[in-house]
Chains A and B, each alone.
Chain A
Amino acid sequence: MAKSNYRRKKFNIGTFMIWLFGSLVYLFMTIPVLIIIMASFSPKAYPEFPPTSFSLHWYVELFNSSAWLETLWTSILLVLIVTPITVILGTAAAVAIRRLNFPGKQALQAMMMSPLMIPHVVLGIAFLYQGTAMGWFGTLTALIIAHIIIVFPFVIRSVGVSMSNLDPILEKASMSLGAGPIRTFFQVTIPNIKPGIMAGTVFAGVTSFGEVSVSVFVASPQWVTVPVRIFNYVEQTFDPVINAVSVVFILIAVIALIIIEKTLGLTKAF
């Protein structure tokens, strides 16, 4: 009895330590986000802690700045072009590669996922060099192409999760009942992998909107995205308007998380 009591006490301390340490980790992960939100509502350039006053000054400045609004428009335009193209191509590829067997299939899969692992500085200068050589550097097309490549793996992964849950027997049944491959694809496959496509769309949009490390190389003065402008700014000066801009990113992340949770489910999507 005494021994079991002893063990129980020890077990409590161990669990307590894990929870204490774990909570500190969650705090560490959350603090930068909270600080940015707090700083964006502070009237001073360098926010005080604890905050003493509240102001929307930086938000007013953000929405009165035509330069920031212009980059915001570029970013939104880019997301609106990149997301549908990537989702259509990526969904088609994720379905096809799951149902086909051919030599080199694994190599192709690795190639599709490789933009996640290849250092972005390498991809960035490769895209910049190709764009300069081929003559599309400085155009919106250069940014579109780079973003499609970067965002592609996220769509492949989300749709891939849904595809692995889809029994091929459903498609076979549809075919044996007389539906052609196109009809089967649109009426059986697509409706069944909708959650994956939805999550992939959200991932693609959010990633494209926040992409910075490759965009820095392919963006030109006419086409600057919000993250690239933040980067150029922070590197040279300190501008508190960036706090307000950052809150826009945090808001979008929260909305994206809610959509992913409602479609594919958070635990499955990551």
Chain B
Amino acid sequence: MLKTIMKSDRQKSFYWALLIPTICLLGFFLVAPLIMLAELSFRGVDSYLNIQDTYTIQHYVEVFQSSTYLKTIGTTLWVAFITGLCCIILAYPAAYMLVNARTSGLRTLLYILLIMPLLISMVVLSFAWIVLLAQNGMINQVLLKMNLINEPIPMLWNLTAVVIALVQVLLPFAALPIANTLGDMDPRLRSASMSLGENRWKTFLRVTLPLSIPGIISGFVIVFSLAAGSYITALLIGGRMQPLLPLTIYQQVVQISNWPLAAALSFTLLVIVACCVLFLGWLLNRWEERVYG
């Protein structure tokens, strides 16, 4: 008895020994920089943007009093919302097809097509959209050749192009959770509904769709938070001047060098995204309570 207890103690300390390097690593290089950034967001600056030793909330006041920043926050959330919505609408039939693929070969192929963007650098995918959408890009060339247009239409440098590219880059994050919930669903539920006289459309609306809500919400949460925080695609497709919060933060650091303001904007972004994610999580819980009691 005593021997087993000692053994389990030894095992426990061994597991702790495995975990402690990670705790140190994340503490020093993930938590510490974020705390430093939080502290920085309360530092004062002089007129040359040098960081002072004084503490102030002026940067947060500036963020929430300036109509430009408020508009930027609004646009960011709107773009993230639209991207999330488009991803869900497009991902649903794609996931449905994946789950219902007849042969395993077809399923593997669809899987590969779907998750390929996850493994290709975001900057490469954004560049591909530039090749497609540019003035002398592929789409304009095809339209010109088909005589559908007389001169190239400008398709880059606007928020619509940003959303299109973001949807392609982030769609796998929406499709995978939906595919998982659809795959876990008991097919007998659908046949039961059909045999009780409901047609296929009603079965979908009353059985399949409600049961896949958790996948839809978690997919939306991931796409929304990634879209709200991404600046690479936004900058390359939309240009530097788009009113998006991550872009503004990038500008504040890279061009203007107003570090405390950039830090305050960063925490604003972080908190807003976290609030949206928590709200959607709460919504998901409510839904599950309603459905499963």
Check A182/B236 contact, CB under 8 A, given A48-B141, A230-B124. no
A129 partner residues in chain B, CB cutoff 8 A: 33, 36-37, 40, 259, 263
**Among B16-24, B67-75, B209-217, B285-293, the stretch in contact with A:** B16-24
- A93 located at the interface, meaning its Cβ lies under 8 Å from any Cβ of chain B in the complex: yes
- A14 located at the interface, meaning its Cβ lies under 8 Å from any Cβ of chain B in the complex: yes
- B158 located at the interface, meaning its Cβ lies under 8 Å from any Cβ of chain A in the complex: no
- A1 located at the interface, meaning its Cβ lies under 8 Å from any Cβ of chain B in the complex: no
Q: How far is it, in angstroms, between the C-alpha of A210 and the C-alpha of B31 when the chains are bound?
A: 24
* Interface residues of B, count at CB 8 A: 93
**Among A55-63, A65-73, A246-254, the stretch in contact with B:** A246-254
Q: How far is it, in angstroms, between the C-alpha of A184 and the C-alpha of B12 when the chains are bound?
A: 13
* Interface residues of A, count at CB 8 A: 92
- B266 located at the interface, meaning its Cβ lies under 8 Å from any Cβ of chain A in the complex: yes
B130 partner residues in chain A, CB cutoff 8 A: 234, 238
Chain A 245-270 near chain B by CB (<8 Å), digits 1 or 0: 11001101110110001000011001
In the complex, chain B residues 234-293 whose Cβ is within 8 Å of any chain A Cβ: 235-236, 246, 249-250, 253, 259, 262-263, 266-267, 269-270, 273, 277
Cβ 8 A contact of B229, one of A121, A133, A250: A121
Q: How far is it, in angstroms, between the C-alpha of A245 and the C-alpha of B117 when the chains are bound?
A: 16
CB of B121 within 8 A of CB of A249, answer yes
CB of B200 within 8 A of CB of A11, answer yes
CB of A14 within 8 A of CB of B11, answer no
- B185 located at the interface, meaning its Cβ lies under 8 Å from any Cβ of chain A in the complex: no
In the complex, chain B residues 101-123 whose Cβ is within 8 Å of any chain A Cβ: 108, 110-123
In the complex, chain A residues 124-174 whose Cβ is within 8 Å of any chain B Cβ: 125-130, 133, 145, 148-149, 152
Q: Can you report 11 residue pairs joining A to B where beta carbons are below 8 Å apart?
A: A22-B97, A25-B91, A26-B97, A111-B31, A117-B273, A119-B246, A175-B7, A175-B11, A210-B120, A227-B123, A245-B124
Residues of A within 8 A of B (CB): 7, 10-11, 14, 18-19, 21-23, 25-26, 28-33, 35-36, 39, 46-49, 89-90, 92-93, 95-97, 99-100, 108, 111-112, 114-115, 117-123, 125-130, 133, 145, 148-149, 152, 175-176, 180-182, 184-185, 206, 209-213, 216-217, 227, 230-231, 234-235, 238, 242-243, 245-246, 249-250, 252-254, 256-257, 261, 266-267, 270
Top 8 closest A-B pairs, CB basis?
A: A119-B229, A210-B121, A32-B128, A181-B14, A22-B97, A253-B119, A126-B33, A92-B18
